[in-house]
Structure 1
Amino acid sequence: MKRMLINATQQEELRVALVDGQKLYDLSIEIPSREQKKANIYKARITRVEPSLEAAFVDYGMPRQGFLPLKEVAREYYRFQPAPGARFNIRDVLQEGQELLVQVEKEERGNKGAALTTYISLAGRFLVLMPNNPRAGGVSRRIEGEDRDATRDALQHLHIPDGMGTIVRTAGVGRGAEDLQWDLDNLRTNWDAIVTAAAARPAPFLVYQESDPVTRALRDYLADDIGEVLIDEPAAHQRALEYVQRFMPPEMQRQIRRYSDEVPLFTRYQIESQIESAYSHTVTLPSGGSIVIDYTEALVTIDINSARATRGADIEATALNTNLEAADEIARQLRIRDLGGLIVIDFIDMESKKNQQAVEDQLREAVRADRARIQLGRISRFGLLEMSRQRLRPSLDESTRTVCPRCSGMGTIRSVESLALAVLRLIGEEVRKERTARVIAQLPLDVATFLVNEKREWLSQLESRSATAIVLVPNTNLETPNYSVRRVRDDELNLPENSGISYQLAEQAPVDIDFQGATAKRPAEMPAVQAIAPATPAPAPAAPATPAAAPDTAPGFGRRLLGWLTGRGRATAPAPASIAPPREQRHRDGPRDERRDSRRSRGYGDERAPRRRDHREHRAERERDRHRQRDRQRGRDVEPRLESTRVEPRPDERAAVPGPAPAPGPAMPLPGPVDGTVEAGGEPRRRRRRRRGRGSRGVESMTAGGPPAGHEEVPPQADLDLAPVNAEVEPPEAPASAAAEVPAEVAPPPPPAPAQDPPAPAPEPVPPAPKPTHTVWSSSPGDGYHFSPRD
């Protein structure tokens, strides 16, 4: 079962995890010190218009100004309305000091300010409302197939105000027009409150704030497949209940539960180790391979290594298996780490194009469940695959990591020898300058030790040639590769920082690192628009519709047979019986296949027997499918065919064909006991021979002792429904005492007749009819199916 786990016990970090059983497949970590600003709405003021960038810089209340491109400015903020298609300068439509309503589209990242837009979008439970963008709207691109058509139909019934647009989210799949209209009304209420609050104060200030992490997680992740939501903190649990009571049906409240066990929530479901793998540079694959994830300014690189993976039969199989495992794990890591932007994956080289296609398909299927928009490329001839992923929020690396004070984010540092030689060259440059009296070098311990011992002669020569004192200060506060070299002029020798004993000259290492939490937390700004409760409660989901009763149709063959056996079918008019498979087909497809399989299970057959058996099984299956399709087609056009079921005998058979049908008389029975009544008057049906040369095998088995054991027999007239071709008139209806031949060893005992029907009279003995010399039987004209009982 899928669960949503919310860990809010630590005020410095709130974690939301989505698990399937005990497997983590999505993670969101919110840090209060880095409050998310995306989707917040501000009233801002333009501070500078830059024509070279076709953009404006605006002050929206944050220390760093926001970036507003001209294409993100709605026409309602233009100073004048240019003609459609006309070219104009940004200074003509915008001016400094102008106030406008903006929304954060992208968070601040590195040295880049936040990207802003004036096209506001308000996200609800099922819809996204764009109040000033009437041209936008429709259905989410993640909704496909019949769901998309049904959602479009429901969208047509909404009352959307003029000048606004809406987009149906994936959570709106299967929702009716009532649910969507309820969500749309709530969003319109919020927009009216935003417009009213924005007009009350001058810019800049926060007008509307995106939901807190708990309610945002419920809005974005709580779907129908989530079985329960567990929250381990009372305040967060209360906020979740309030949100569900306001915006969700009452049934959803039962899924919100408070976790109060002593064992930590994430430890209980064994996902702490999986979360720690998201902070790791290397992720191990099940087969022994690994993937290595590196971050750069321009893109994210992922390298795949086979490492200890040796399961494959050859190098190509090993590469394929490792790449397939890596494709699944990469898709999972992208969601957990929330990596965005350009991503380049270096797969293990594969020679087969088919294997490359399999890896691409595996990756495409693995990222299908991702909420972010993803674009996938193809594996190039260098084994690289390029893809892009939408940046929904700051990545886990950006939110929880700081720059390393030693390597400054490079990941590596210079060796002691290399750094010492670089310092030595810098000292040589400083002593050659005019009026240099002393050079003081603050060095890490290992670098200073290397220069004092291994480069002592070089330092002595520098001092003698330049007549300048060189002072090396081993500083315990410095770590490689940090150092400082300071030049002292001759008029600065008497200053306190330049004179004195050498070990007293050690300085504190400068700290330029912006540690998270090191600075005082900025007081949170309260939005002008607080949470607005919906005017009406959320509509309850509609009860599943009761399926309509099926219309009464003609009874099938089984029901008619049961009626013949119990006597209930006498009063009803004879209806065309459903077409059953031919008797010879049942005999050949059943016992013969079983005998063949039993022979092969005992070891009969040559080495090609399995191949022949598969071929025969496929051929028999095709034959059965063709018979079923033909039977279904006959069931639809049986009435027209019953009108033309007479065939003319061949010239050589005219002498043997008897004349017109005699008056009603006793029927000609086949060997076997009499049990039950039979329905007469059936018309011949079309029966095609299954194999050439075996058309009379079914008749032979019928007259030579009955069907094989375990095979239930049916009345011959109901099975083949054959009639002599010489019958020129409709056969008369058989009396109620007429019997159908059913073998006694397989026929079930007849159930007792209903109480309201009088008991049927005992059947009179039927004298054996004279054996015809030659009778031709046919099902329909033109099918060529003729056979005659043997004399």
Structure 2
Amino acid sequence: MNKELIINSLTSEVEIALVENNKLVEIHKQKTSNSFNVGDIYLAKVNKLMPGLNAAFLDIGKRKDAFLHYTDLGPKLPSVIEYTKQILNKTPGYNIHGMDLTKEIQKNGKIQDVMDKKTLLLVQILKEPISTKGPRLSCEITIPGRYLVLTPFSNAVTISKKIVNPDERKRLQVLIESIKPQNFGIIARTAAEGHKVADLHDEITALELKWQTIQDNIDEAKGPRKVLSEADKTTSILRDFLTDDYHHIAVNDKEIYSNIKSFMSNIAPDKLKIVEHYTGKLPIFEHYGINKQIKASFGKTATMNSGAYLVIEGTEAMHVIDVNSGPKMSKSEMNNTALTVNIEAADEICRQLRLRDIGGLIVIDFIDMKNPDHKKALNNRMIELMEKDRAQHTILPLSKFGLMQITRERVRQALTINTDETCPTCNGSGKVQPTILLTDEIERDLIYLLTNKSISKVNLSVHPYVYAYLMKGLVNIRVKWYFKHKKWVNIRQNSNFALTEYRFYDVAEDEIRFT
């Protein structure tokens, strides 16, 4: 599979398009003024405990408080609070390596039993603000790298489930345990597979330096504040996505281009040659066909090659996707090809979920199938396709009504792009001037031409609908104009005209202008 990353830098935001086999599969946007990024780490203060919700609202130094639920505290919360307290108190020689990890909290406890109002602690942005809600927090801090993820206040070593070779899993487990710093857990990402101890050791050292930055910023803090920023969107996507499948990265901004080259020289120096600074005349998204794909993909309907299409509707609580066979397929064909259409729809649905970043509950109404084997095949295909999706998800089998339910992790607001264009005829109002009034307007201009300009012959071009109205009947409007003004008007139709557009031309076919 060929993959590309196309980066469009604008004044107010950066747009990042992920393309697989020339097909747009994800688009990410990062506003330059964005206050919150998933992964940012803050020193926070508890503002309000909400026992009814088993949650708390925390001040993180921003205008809007952030939300922390008990289930996001993590078992090591007492260690997090104790560490934060000791660093703020500037206890000499205190650091995470030498501290004793305290007893874990109960899985189903109450928030008022584990923290008080005004408690200071480290938190991480888990979800960006959605609608009117503030950001959601977690106390389970993670510092991700290219190959490994550092998890403070833990000593567990976990290997990605996507690494399936048992010998490689064992090798990584033994290797990481031998180089792991005290009181830091490690998660080996899929990208760690096959890498030498030197690569992994270097990354652990780099991640430890980030933790030291957090400690230094806490030490200097006088209140809630950000203590570590997540890498910008472009760098974090490169860190998480870059594989051997990528053959091209194009960016239209010199500064971002330099940052990418610098980042790539550290994590994948052999891939430097695939990075291009785009300087063409056309906008970068237009040059690579991204704009056209956005226009085709973000409407209410999404059409597939067979003529079948999806109708996608969403609310804050859930999204509903309806699969339609399209007008080209008869009922007799549908009995035989329902599975084929549903399989094609499954592929497009998985793409749309990633592209629009749709989260929460998704209900899909597939075309009805009677054959149990066909239902099983569709369910298996959906599971296979969704393996490409990084967001956590659960897929339930088809119900007896032909409905499939999917839950997908919602980290940020679903991406919506308005692909509608303002109608040039009605200017977006949805209404046009009545034809009967249009003919009055044309006649007024005609009278002006005949009385104020010495024109021997008048040609009138109009939209085909208006032409049909003017020429309707034996004694049509053109004949009435002749009897009234003693001048024959040659009327022509032009399908390129807007409905209410008309123009006059003289005998030399030059347009007659009224200004």
Same fold, judged at TM 0.5 (above) = yes
**8 A Cα contact 1:4 1:16, kept in partner:** no
Q: Who is 1:117 aligned against?
A: 138
How far 1:312 moved relative to its partner? 8.2
1:31/1:277 Cα in 2 relative to 1: closer, same or farther (>3 Å)?
farther
Alpha-carbon separation, structure 1, partners of 2:108 and 2:389: 40
Given the alignment of the two structures, is residue 296 of structure 1 paired with residue 299 of structure 2, yes or no? no
2:120 maps to 1:102: no
After TM superposition, give the deviation of residue 301 of structure 1 in Å: 0.8
TM-score (norm 2): 0.71
Asked if residue 306 in structure 1 is aligned to residue 314 in structure 2, the reply is no
CA positional deviation for 1:345: 0.4
Task: Give deviations 1:723-746, integer Å, cap 9, x for gaps.
Answer: xxxxxxxxxxxxxxxxxxxxxxxx
Name the CA distance, whole Å, in 1 between partners of 2:357 and 2:61: 27
Instruction: State the SS of the aligned residue for 2:295.
Output: helix
SS in structure 2 at match of 1:224 = coil
Secondary structure at the counterpart of residue 259 of structure 2: helix
Q: Within 5 Å, give how 1:183-198 maps onto structure 2.
A: 183-198=203-218
Counterpart residue type for residue 267 of structure 1 = E
CA contact (8 A) 1:78 1:93 kept: no
Matching residue's letter, 1:291: L
Distance 1:86 1:14, change over 3 A: closer
CA displacement at 1:112 relative to structure 2:
2.4
Contact 1:374 1:390 survives alignment (8 Å) = yes
Q: TM-score scaled by structure 1?
A: 0.47
Matches within 5 A, 1:540-555: none
* 2:78 aligned to which of 71, 75, 80: 75
Of residues 369, 373, 376, the one that matches 1:354 is 373
Q: Paired residue for 1:260?
A: 279
Cα distance in 2, alignment partners of residues 78 and 20 from structure 1: 44
Aligned residue in 1 for 2:174: 156
Give deviations 1:715-766, integer Å, cap 9, x for gaps: xxxxxxxxxxxxxxxxxxxxxxxxxxxxxxxxxxxxxxxxxxxxxxxxxxxx
Shift of 1:120: 0.8
Following TM superposition, by how much is the alpha carbon of 1:212 offset from its aligned partner in structure 2, in angstroms?
1.1
Partner Cα separation in structure 1 for residue 23 and residue 358 of structure 2: 20
Taking the aligned partners of 2:255 and 2:171, their CA distance within structure 1 comes to 41
Q: 1:318–1:35: structure 2 CA closer, same or farther, 3 Å change rule?
A: farther
Cα deviations by residue, 1:417-470 (Å, 9 ceiling, x for unpaired): xxxxxxxxxxxxxxxxxxxxxxxxxxxxxxxxxxxxxxxxxxxxxxxxxxxxxx
Q: Deviation at 1:81?
A: 6.5
| One-letter amino acid of the counterpart of residue 297, structure 1 | E
- Structure 1 stretch displaced more, 73-82 or 306-315: 73-82
- Checking the alignment, whether the CA contact within 8 Å between 1:310 and 1:318 is kept in structure 2 is no
Matched, 1:208 2:241: no
Bigger relative CO (Cα 8 Å, ≥ 6 apart): 2
Task: State the alpha-carbon separation in 2 of the partners of residues 95 and 273 from structure 1.
Answer: 53
Partner of 2:88: none
Q: Residues 112 and 134 of structure 1: is their aligned pair in 2 closer, same or farther, counting only changes over 3 Å? A: farther
Q: Distance in 2 between matches of 1:314 and 1:243?
A: 53
Structure 2: gaps spanning 5 or more residues: 83-100, 420-515
C-alpha distance in 1 between matches for 2:78 and 2:55: 15
Contact 1:58/1:67 (<8 A) preserved: yes
SS of 2:220's partner is: coil
How many residues get paired? 396
Residue 129 (str. 1) matches residue 129 (str. 2): no
Q: Secondary structure at the match of 2:386?
A: helix
1:337 maps to 356
Question: Once the 2 structures are TM-superposed, how far is the Cα of residue 92 of structure 1 from its aligned partner?
Answer: 4.1
For 1:352 and 1:91, how far apart are their aligned partners in 2? 54
1:351 positional shift: 1.1
Q: What's 2:248 paired with?
A: 228
Find the aligned partners of 2:102 and 2:174 in 1 and give their Cα distance. Answer: 31
Q: Deviations over 1:339-370 (max 9, x none)?
A: 11211100011111122122212222222222
1:178 lines up with 2:181 in the alignment: no
Distance 1:133 1:152, change over 3 A: same
Whose strand proportion is higher, 1 or 2?
2
2: CA distance between counterparts of 1:154 and 1:346? 43
- Distance in 2 between the 1:95 and 1:295 partners? 39
Distance across 1 between alignment mates of 2:31 and 2:105:
46
Structure having the higher Rg: 1
Q: Do the aligned partners of residues 164 and 22 (structure 1) sit closer, same or farther apart at CA in structure 2, a change above 3 Å counting?
A: same
Distance in structure 2 (CA, Å) of the matches to 1:344 and 1:251? 43
1:75 aligned partner, one-letter code:
P
Over aligned residue pairs, what C-alpha RMSD do you find? 2.6
- How many Å separate the matches in 1 of 2:81 and 2:42? 18
Question: Structure 1 pair 60/401, CA: closer, same or farther in 2 (3 Å)?
Answer: farther
Which of 312, 315, 329 aligns to 2:334? It is: 315
Q: How does 1:435-474 map to 2 (within 5 A)?
A: none
Partner of 2:294: 275
Contact 1:119 1:133 in 2 (8 A): no
Q: 1:17-28 maps to which residues of 2 (within 5 A)?
A: 17-28=17-28
Q: Which residue of 2 aligns with 1:238?
A: 258
Quote how far apart the aligned CAs of 1:323 are: 1.0
1:304 positional shift? 0.7
Question: In structure 2, what is the Cα distance between the partners aligned to 1:401 and 1:152?
Answer: 50
Aligned to 1:407: none
Tell me if the contact between 1:5 and 1:17 (Cα under 8 Å) persists in the aligned partners. Answer: yes
Letter in 2 for 1:157: L
Sort the Cα spacing of 1:31 and 1:311 in 2 relative to 1 into closer, same or farther, 3 A: farther
Q: Is the 8 A contact 1:46 1:57 kept in 2?
A: yes
Please state whether the residue corresponding to 2:358 is helix, strand or coil. Answer: coil
Determine the C-alpha separation between the residues in 1 that align with 2:104 and 2:15: 51
Shift of 1:90: 3.7
Structure-1 residue corresponding to 2:7: 7
- Distance in 1 between residues matched to 2:199 and 2:332, nearest whole Å: 56
Equivalence for 1:49: 49
C-alpha distance 126-311 of structure 1, shift in aligned 2 (>3 A) = farther
* Structure 1 CA distance for aligned equivalents of residues 406 and 349 of structure 2: 12
CA distance in 1, matches of 2:377, 2:147: 36
Aligned letter for 1:5?
A: L
Secondary structure, counterpart of 1:334 in structure 2: helix
Shift of 1:36: 4.2
- Counterpart CA distance in 1 for 2:217 and 2:371 is 63
CA deviation digits over 1:512-570, x for unaligned, max 9?
xxxxxxxxxxxxxxxxxxxxxxxxxxxxxxxxxxxxxxxxxxxxxxxxxxxxxxxxxxx
User: For 1:286-323, what per-residue CA distance to the aligned partner results, in whole angstroms no more than 9, with x for missing partners?
Assistant: 11111011111221110111122427853312322221
Question: Partners in 2 of 1:88 and 1:320 — Cα distance?
Answer: 48
The answer to whether the Cα contact below 8 Å between 1:6 and 1:14 also exists between their aligned partners in 2 is: no
**SS across alignment from 2:329:** coil
CA distance in 1 between partners of 2:300 and 2:110 (Å): 48
Q: 1:138 Cα deviation (Å)?
A: 0.7
Q: Tell me, yes or no, if the aligned pair for 1:291 and 1:303 is still in contact at 8 Å.
A: yes
Deviation of 1:53 (Å): 2.5
Q: Partner of 1:63 in structure 2?
A: 63
> Structure 1 CA distance, aligned partners of 2:10 and 2:108?
55
Distance, in Å, in 1 between the alignment partners of 2:104 and 2:78 is 11
Does the C-alpha gap of structure 1 residues 268 and 157 become closer, same or farther in structure 2, counting only changes over 3 Å?
A: same
Q: CA deviation at 1:35?
A: 4.7
